[in-house]
Each structure stands twice: as C-alpha cells, then as structure tokens.
Amino acid sequence: MKYKVEHNCSTTAARAGLITTDHGEIPTPIFMPVGTVGSVKAVEMSVLERDINAKIILGNTYHLYLRPGLDILRKAGGLHKFGTWSRPILTDSGGFQVFSLAERRKITEEGVYFSSHIDGSKHLFSPERVMDIERVIGADIIMAFDECCPGDADYNYAKKSLDLTERWLDRCVKRIGETEPLYGYHQSLFPIVQGCVYPDLRKRAAEKIAEIGADGNAIGGLAVGEPTEKMYEMIELTNEILPKDKPRYLMGVGTPVNILEGIARGVDMFDCIMPSRDGRNAKLFTWQGTINMRNAKWANDFGCIDPMGTSFVDQRYSKAYLHHLFKAGEILALEIASIHNLAFYLDLVTTARKHIIDGDFGTWYPEVVKDLGRRI
C-alpha cells in the first residue's frame, strides 16, 4: 500500500491525499460505509459503486467469523469475491465487539474468550487467531487486535488495558510477519492507538505505534462515552505524533460535524454506522441539517428529498413519498434513506477534499458545521 499527501491546509491540520492498494485508489479524506456481515445494509453493491461511489467498505471480523464462517470465505476466495466487491475493503479486528459483549466475554493475556451471540458457542480471539481470520477474509487493510476500554474508564483500568493492547500488538505484528496473504494481493496491518482520555497514555501509545512503521495507523477508543471535546483533544494529541506520511484512520466516528472536525485535525479515514442506521430510522443528513422523515410536516411536501443531494434518489422521490413509505412500514423507505445518507457522507468528504485542494478549507468548514448540526 502507498500513501501520498497531495495538499495541506495552511490554517488547519487537514490534508488531501491518495491511498493506493491492489484493489484501487482511495482519495482522502474518505468515508467508508460499514458492511458488517459483508453487505452495507439495504444497499446493493452496484449502487454503492455507481451512485454512492464508495471507494472502500468495511467488513466486521467478529461477525464474518461467526457467519458465514471461514470455510465459506476461503472457498469463495475471500470477501471481495464472495460479495462481488472489486474495490478495497478494510476489516476491523473484533475488538469493539469484544468491548460491547461485556456479559459474554472474558479477557485474558492469551486473548478473549467469548460466547457467540448467535448460538452461545464458545470461541477464543487471540492476536494470532484474529490475524489468521483477517487473512482468510482477505481485506486490503486489516486492524490489529486491541481492547477498547470505555470512555469513562478510570486511569488504572485504562493503563492496564493499554498495556495489554500493546502486548497484543507485538503479537499481531509477529504473526503477520510469519504468514502470507492467501489471495495474491497485499494486506496492510494498521495498529490502533488506545489510551482512553488520558494524554500520557495516548502519547505513549502513539509513540510506540509510530516506531512500528506500519502502512497506516488507527485511532480507536473514542466516541465510546467520553465528552466530544475530549475526543477532539485526543485526536489532536495523537496526530501530532503519528507519522505524517501515513494515513490516519479514526474508528467509528461519527456525525457530519465530527467528521469535519476530525479532518481539520489531520484525520484521513472515517467509518460509522450512523448514516445507515439513522437512515433506517427515518433520519436524513443534509447540508442544511438533519430531517426526521416521520414528522407530519413532510406529508404534503412534494419537493425532492434533497435539492443538493448527489444520489438519484434525491431527485427522483419527494419528501411526501418518503414520509408515506416510512409511515406505511415499507422496506423501500429504508433503502432510499440509506442510499441518501451514504451518498451525503461521501459528498461531505469529497467536498472537504476539494476545499483543501482549493486552499479555503480553514474558512469553509467552520461555517458549514453551523448548519450540519441543525434540525430542520
């Protein structure tokens, strides 16, 4: 994998770059739709490619390991072929799922023992096992196995968690060095900076990861309960240390405002379930603010869904029609709203990239965030 910084903002840490993988190029900053079980919910692959124009999507190691399982994925030739997606894929390591399965897991030095949420069967995720699983899934970018501690964890817990994450990282790096990709193309391992909201822990984690010299680096353990300003503080601190010639990925974040604030602080890659999940719950993101399509005020609005929208659904359907579909419980409502939101998120980062290249991002984005957080 290669990464090149093409433009830097003169007043913020924002930059526009280009990631090159064996499955194609990724202009940054970029948003990556989340395809947890090998599909982005309610959106067909060709729509992702042609209309939304997603450059890279995510798969979830925990969920894909449990279903369809490694045998099926290996026989298919990896997730690209199984899901008919020809562009890059990133897989997380299952660390966040471990975090969210508090009642079903036990964390040890060896790894994490957990019970499947599907059938209760017992499993172990060790750093070595997770690297092997991500080899089978076959993503272009694979994440190291970490422990994601809560945003409100006390210092002692956060330190012990980081200690464990760093020991696991050493094992991940070793395992990747001992194994080869299974499908004939390169896989890049991204370490993950943890440390909760404690500056000294984040600094320590970032310094260790910078020394590894990986193809790219991730910032994890944010947007998990900590105050938003603390999140921004941790991003700034971390990005001052992480290498400037490698892409930086902020995991699981977030709202359109969060994304622009992250870009301004030097983040290149984002993912979040929010556009798909909120879309299925009738919330649309637009440049003017957010819209609740269940509100009665839209029942007689025959204007298009979003006059500034870039997807075909924005011009084809009216707010009144989409409101009707949600009220009627039609599946089409979930599809239209998901497509709109994902297209908006891609338009958000594409427009931010344009302003970085044009040299006015620093004055443009503070004005835009005033509207993005409004409710219409």
Check the annotation: does 163 bind a ligand: no
Query: Which has the closest alpha carbon to 89: 16, 142, 46?
Result: 142
State the pairing for strand pair 269-271/89-92.
Answer: unpaired
**94 annotated ligand-binding residue:** yes
Q: What are phi and psi of 46, to 5 degrees?
A: -65, -30
Task: Based on the residue annotation, tell me whether 268 is a catalytic residue of this protein.
Answer: no
194 marked as part of a ligand binding site? yes
Type and span of the H or E element at 334: helix 331-358
Q: Identify the CA nearest to 372 among candidates 263, 289, 268, 274.
A: 289
Coil/strand/helix, residue 339: helix
The residue from 51, 140, 215, 271 that is catalytic is 271
Q: Is 315 annotated as a binding residue?
A: no
Would the annotation count 268 as a binding residue? no
Q: Is there a binding annotation on residue 95?
A: yes
Closest CA to 293 of 285, 280, 284: 284
Residue that has been written with the tokens 């359907």 in this structure: 317
What is the CB neighbour count within 10 angstroms for residue 152?
A: 13
Phi, psi dihedrals of residue 14, rounded to the nearest 5°: -65, 145
Residue 271 designated active-site: yes
Residue 93 marked in a binding site: yes
Q: Is 152 marked as binding a ligand?
A: no
Query: 51, 92, 268, 347: which is the annotated catalytic residue?
Result: 92
Catalytic residue ranges = 92, 271
Residue numbers in the known binding site for substrate are 92-96, 146, 194, 221
